[in-house]
Structure 1
């Protein structure tokens, strides 16, 4: 039921592409030769269920494709774009993806509910990856799963490969989660937790112990994944440290999955509701964030470019169309369709093509 669709890409010989299954770098040169790709639509895996749904044929632009759980993502990694260069060095991207996969595995094992949030949710929505010029990954975990989250963290740091630093830990509750600790008994957080003290709730940076240290006086390593807590009061959900960004529970649940590079990770039901709450504008701005995590300081480099230029020639970007009770999202790079996936979330009329805005 797969059909081959012929594309003629405009990719220069200098573009470096990471597309192999192992995630290792692979150089490919394209001249005037045509590329033939299998154009498939894949259904995102269910957040909890692991059962395989039946294949169903659907139509997109008169192309017959398949929708199946065994998804195939084809991220195209361009090392840099002069319009808006990446902040994270190429060598660190694999570390970010490795850490995300490890957190996902541990959170599943300990039944910790979490979602992509912040710039990472925005990146998945627009690029099926982190925002190319972003410099970390943002996750939110359910405050009600705090104890299980700590058990997941314990398992990860006991391997000696990972460390955790809390920015709000004035009492060194989480000292034993940092790298280089010889004896760990993890007693501090457990004792306070058992006494019902909610002031210990974690705002964590998760990193590899083999990574370089951030600049002094900061004690964590780069790159890192930010893990914050979200609160659910029955009608709304919000990030614990940001009280103004209230999201309706109907926009937050049910949780489903979205692509980040080659993986699928939990997302809220309606990402646009979060974008409106945090950013307050419907037009996505292609510009550097005011803070640079790679240097751990505010930056005056607020370079801004036209999003239409980014989408047309710079980085692979998502285009979406309505389909049933969700959307078909197609990742496109210079008119080449890399993959298409069905995403079961609300499709806001103002956000069908965010990168078409200038």
Structure 2
């Protein structure tokens, strides 16, 4: 698609941290980061090795007709309201409602990943089993690229560089603490990147288009792109308040600013072997996010790559965890993500790729909620419009 010039202004807004040295910081200034809650458990290297080698039973990927459907995206063309298009895994294109005098809303790419593998090399590592619904060249122009953390399936350097080359000077990157150096290492200029700590936010004004408020919020995960840099950068979720400049309080419902929560990658509670969910503490951050920013019109929640639970529950949500997130966040509608696209080296021995969407629907219905209304799924390439 043709590229059009826009001007982007980033204005920081006051943060809401608890102290001068937040509990997730190690050192002052921080040299690394931790999950500060009882809901998290850090496995030893030996535990990781032993658990990953036991009870392995390779789960082959079924034929295409048994996988997530893929459709050519139209990005919600011609429709009013906030538009969210799933590109696969944790990648979403979100466009806010357009004001009356603008051709479009503010466009944001969350954790874009178009590469064939989620790996530091192109010849090895976890490989896609579902292709992207379009090429990078077919993406509409974007104003913001928003990254949750530095893992290869969320911070895809090849994708980011191609977006930057196409939109340099017209696109801005939002990351959590420590990740600006990652992007500089890829070749993305420092003036085009803003780093935020948990509970810090910015207002983003896109000339001739509109404005949004973005807040960096906690998640229960980890970081690192190699063996020696674990925890050196911060991981996060994001809150989007999708207003536009000159918001008219008498505006119609379809143009009313919407609130979106993007979870990135997160766990909810640690489940040791034989433990029951009700006996284990859950991450308190999400209730706080719901209280301070909710209710949300839309939440994008991870539901896959959670097995084996003893190993992955501290950092990856099962579908039942995603339902708990939905409640904590006071979300009006939640869509599952982080499944159906690629799988890690461990999950392929413990988790059928068709299991997450089935369990998400079952959890929804068991909780007495109407599937497809309050919780649901999208096809890859499908656009959900929130009025």
Name the structure with the higher strand share: 1
Larger radius of gyration: 1
TM-score when scaled to structure 1?
0.30
TM-score when scaled to structure 2?
0.28
